[in-house]
Chains A and B, each alone.
Chain A
Amino acid sequence: MYIALLCYMNMIFVDKWKSQVKKGVLEYIILILLHQTELYGYELLDKLKDTTGYDVAEGTIYPLLNRLKDEKLITSYWKEMDSGVPRKYYKMTDEGIAILAHMQAYWIELNNNIFTLSKQPQ
């Protein structure tokens, strides 16, 4: 009983940690996806789920995209569709591409450091 409770508490801790990590890297992943191709909001959510397994609450993507736009890392434009309902496409700016390069360099450095640390003898 005690061991089961301990396992459950550990899982809660891990879940919370995963959620914090996700929050931290969500903007980074969105920038990576938009660097690959221009995407509209719903398509971005789909890609996010397919490539990373992130099942983001759909509405929350828009404050994030709005913020990235305010920071001038991405920009948007409307595209008319045959359905009559236009799509708002997001794409990277030159500034966004430059920032993403810095983020990628830092990510690789951090990843290497954590990997090295985890391989050190106890």
Chain B
Amino acid sequence: MKLQTDNANKILALYYNRVHHIIKPLAETDRQEITMELASHIYESMARNPQGDEVTTLLYALEKLGQPETFLYDVVAERKLHQARKTFNPIHLASAVALNIGRGFAKGILFFVVGTVYIISFACAATALLKPFFPNKIGLYTNSNGLFAAGWVTNIAPGTTEWLGLWFTPVFIILAVLLYVINTLLLKLIPTTKTTI
């Protein structure tokens, strides 16, 4: 959208910079859709509410629309969650969890739990892949003193048994995949409703 005066174009460009900064985590199509819809809204608002000169009209329209950091936060958090749920992509999932963790106390706790399970899932995968390189440090250990440990263990006490050997790698890869898939499916059950007016 091109306005007539330089000052109005500069103000609009600054507003769009803020918008682009907020919607940066989203897919290109989503970013384009949001930008086009905001341009449409600003155009309609300016056409219906002329305030004398163009700059004042634009400022009035932007003020009525609100701070993009406020009203776009929910859109970005929900669109990112939607993208993560659809793609199972770990980068989108991490971004979606980070964006949604600050959306209210109850939802924050749910996303904290989901985020923690993802970290455990990645830790399982990482230790599984490292097992062949550190066969005496990584494993599933128990002993008569009540030790039950999985993963990287230092200072292994005498009498400690490692149960899986090189089976640790396939078992923990399967465990990591299961945790990842189940957690992502559970993510779909978290409601996204939040209305602000």
Contacts and interface: CB of A to CB of B under 8 A. Distances in A.
Interface in B29-82: 33-34, 36-37, 39-41, 43-45, 47-48, 64-68, 70-72, 74-75, 78-79, 82
A86 B40 contact: yes
A59 B75 CA distance: 10
A60 B66 contact: yes
Interface string A26-44: 1100000000000011110
Contacts of B37: 41, 62, 88
A37 B165 CA distance: 67
A63 B74 contact: yes
Chain B binding surface, main DSSP class: helix
Nearest to B64: A58
Contacts of A27: 195
Contacts of A54: 197
B154 interface: no
On chain B, which size bracket covers the interface?
20 to 34
B41 A56 contact: no
Contact of A62 (B45, B71, B192, B194): B71
Interface residues of A, number: 29
Interface of B: 1, 33-34, 36-37, 39-41, 43-45, 47-48, 64-68, 70-72, 74-75, 78-79, 82, 192-197
Given A58-B65, A59-B66, A59-B70, A66 B79 contact: yes
Query: DSSP majority for the A interface?
Result: helix
Contacts of B193: 67
A63 B45 contact: no
Among A26, A41, A66, A78, which residue has the most Cβ atoms of chain B within 10 A? A66
Nearest to B30: A66
A56 B196 CA distance: 9
B39 A22 contact: no
A49 to B, nearest CB: 11
Contacts of A60: 66, 71, 196-197
Given A57-B71, A59-B68, A59-B71, A64 B36 contact: no
A8 B45 CA distance: 35
B66 A40 contact: no
B78 A85 contact: no
A38 B106 CA distance: 36
Interface string A15-30: 0000100111011000
A59 B72 contact: yes
Contacts of A19: 197
Nearest to B47: A83
Contacts of A26: 195, 197
B25 to A, nearest CB: 15
A45 B163 CA distance: 65
B66 A58 contact: yes
A19 B139 CA distance: 57
